[in-house]
Amino acid sequence: MAKLQKSIDKRNALVKATIELVNNNGFHATPMSKIAKMANVSPATIYLYFENKQDLVNQTYINVKAAYTKYAFETYKATMPVEAGFELIWNRIADFKLNECENAMFLAQCDNTPIIDEASRQEGIKHLQPLLDLWARGKKEGIVKPMSDYLLYAYAINPLSFLMMSQKRGAFTLDKTHLEEAYQSAWNSIKVCK
Amino acid sequence: MAKLQKSIDKRNALVKATIELVNNNGFHATPMSKIAKMANVSPATIYLYFENKQDLVNQTYINVKAAYTKYAFETYKATMPVEAGFELIWNRIADFKLNECENAMFLAQCDNTPIIDEASRQEGIKHLQPLLDLWARGKKEGIVKPMSDYLLYAYAINPLSFLMMSQKRGAFTLDKTHLEEAYQSAWNSIKVCK
DNA sequence: TAAAAAAGAATGAACGTTCATTTTTGATAT
DNA sequence: ATATCAAAAATGAACGTTCATTCTTTTTTA
């Protein structure tokens, strides 16, 4: 165990350093030498864990995306009623974006730039399926608007990314009241109006 | 005129090349030499128009942001009723994001990465004032929810960025019906529910 | 014809990656 | 327990390339 454990620790340290440096300086100003230094490792060691810089950032992206969706669906059961299920997932995603904002910022940066390979992007998108299934159910039951999933995501989930970025920039802070308002806006924009 | 005109053309070509290359390759893979080549100019010439690479990208950002807000408010009058005014501005912004998507993509990339100086970011944000004024009026009249402008922007405007990026990636295409649904979602999420 | 604009070649620094060596690890023999 | 040792892991220095920027010269402008 000792050996494998050590390897995993080192890999994790490299991934963490990548996230932190890319968040603060951008991909263009994040040399391998700095990543190595922050992870307390020699530059050459990175290449024992990753093929090259592109592979490092691709794998970091997939790691973080997996953590994001794991967190989002951790307490969700597919048997829940649609509205309750959505509220649960929405709150988990809000928690993730606002508490683990290092991770969330990294995703926002990757999702709006060409720094990630298309293949890794596809890989990352897969894990969102439970939410799409929930929406399909909601549409069938006449609770959720019969819209494209892209529209639903754009209005129900994506605004949280914008709010997270604004908060991170210090422009404003999301308190509990804001969050309740945000949820109402999210639900309002996708529910069928009776 | 000839001389000044030529200078403006060259500056515009440099800005345009910057946008195109940063959109397609990312800032990290956009060397000055490529920008120069695409603008049909010597690398040294860039430094007659811009201090350095950072200045070039900052000024490009400010240029595009100004074009965005100019377009958004072109036909808007502050005397319009709140709902009509919002619908007008929303549609102009949707037009911009979906038709001038090179520009919109560049903004999305800049707004989610640290490639732009904080000062230039602040400069770019200023021009949004008319929309904030409209919302202030809407709140006073009890038409718009009394929420933070960040929340309003997150739900009413920002989803268009996500939809633009999705469309650009070829994931789906926004037709006229989608756009009407999107507008309804936007308005639903910020209007006061009677 | 002098000043301004532009060019291409040159420069030095920084980068991603690899190489030659050293250190660590863990199984085996004592 | 301890010593041995081959394989694996890790390292710092080195390599070749690429980059942003500058320098010197040429071309354009008015």
Residue A159 to residue B163, Cβ atoms within 8 A: no
A3/D3 CA-to-C1' distance in Å = 22
Q: Counting one residue from A and one from B, how many pairs have CB atoms under 8 Å apart?
A: 119
> What secondary structure does DSSP assign to B95-140, as a single string?
HHHHHSHHHHHHHHHHHTSTTS-HHHHHHHHGGGHHHHHHHHHHHH
Same-domain status, A130 and A79: yes
B149 with B70, same domain: the answer is yes
Tokens found for residue B119: 């000062």
The reply to whether B58 touches chain A by the CB within 8 Å rule is: no
Tell me, in Å, how far CA of A43 is from C1' of C22? Answer: 16
A30-47 residues labelled b (16+ CB within 10 A) or e (exposed): bebebbbebbebeeeebe
**Helical H segments across chain A, by residue range:** 2-25, 32-38, 43-49, 53-73, 82-99, 101-111, 118-125, 129-140, 149-156, 159-168, 176-190
Regarding whether B178 and B85 lie in a shared domain, the answer is yes
Does residue B110 sit within a domain?
A: yes
Q: What is the pLDDT of residues B112-164, one digit of tens each?
A: 999 999 999 999 999 999 999 999 999 999 999 999 999 999 999 999 999 99
Half-sphere exposure of A85 (CA within 13 A, CB side): 19
- Determine the distance in angstroms separating the CA of A102 from the nearest CA of chain B, rounded to an integer: 13
Rounded Cα distance between A190 and B84, Å, is 22
Angstroms from B128 CA to nearest CA on chain A: 15
How many domains are contained in chain A? 2
Question: A45 and A78 share a domain?
Answer: no
B24 CA to C3 C1' in angstroms comes to 40
Q: What percent of chain B has pLDDT over 70?
A: 96
Q: Are residues A174 and A146 in the same domain?
A: yes
B113 occurs within a structural domain: yes
- A71 and A157 together in one domain: yes
Indicate if CB(A41) is under 7 A from strand D.
yes
Neighbour count for residue A106 (Cβ, 10 Å) = 24
Is the pLDDT assigned to residue B65 strictly greater than 50? yes
Band (pLDDT 50/70/90 cuts) for residue B1 is very low
CATH of the domain at A19: 1.10.10.60
CATH code (residue A113): 1.10.357.10
Residue B55 lies in a domain: no
- The reply to whether B68 and B118 lie within a common domain is yes
pLDDT of A2 higher than 90? no
Residue B115 lies in a domain: yes
Tokens of B17: 């090349």
* Mean pLDDT rounded to a whole number for chain A: 95
Cβ separation of A112 and B113 shorter than 8 Å? yes
Dist. CA B143–CA B28, nearest whole Å: 45
Is there a contact between B44 and B65 (Cβ–Cβ < 8 Å)?
Answer: no
Instruction: Answer whether A154 sits within 8 Å of B182, measured CB to CB.
Output: yes
Least confident of A3-7, A106-110, B59-63: A3-7
| Shared domain check, B36 and B91 | no
- A178 → closest Cβ in B26, B151, B160: B151
B96 inside domain = yes
Q: Which amino acid is at A52?
A: N
B53 in contact with nucleic chain D (CB within 7 A): yes
Residues spanned by the domain of B32:
1-50
How many CA atoms lie within 13 Å of B2's alpha carbon, on the beta-carbon side? 0
Do A67 and A109 share a structural domain?
yes
Q: Is residue B45 part of a domain?
A: yes
Instruction: Please indicate, yes or no, whether residues B82 and B115 belong to a single structural domain of this protein.
Output: yes
How far, in Å, are A137, A184, B17, B166 from residue A178 at the CA level? 28, 10, 41, 27
**pLDDT at residue B67, rounded to an integer:** 97
Residues A62 and A109 placed together within one structural domain of the fold: yes
B161 Cβ nearer than 7 Å to chain C strand: no
B56 domain residue, yes or no? no
pLDDT in tens, A76-129: 999 999 999 999 999 999 999 999 999 999 999 999 999 999 999 999 999 999
Are residues B43 and B71 located together in one domain of the fold? no
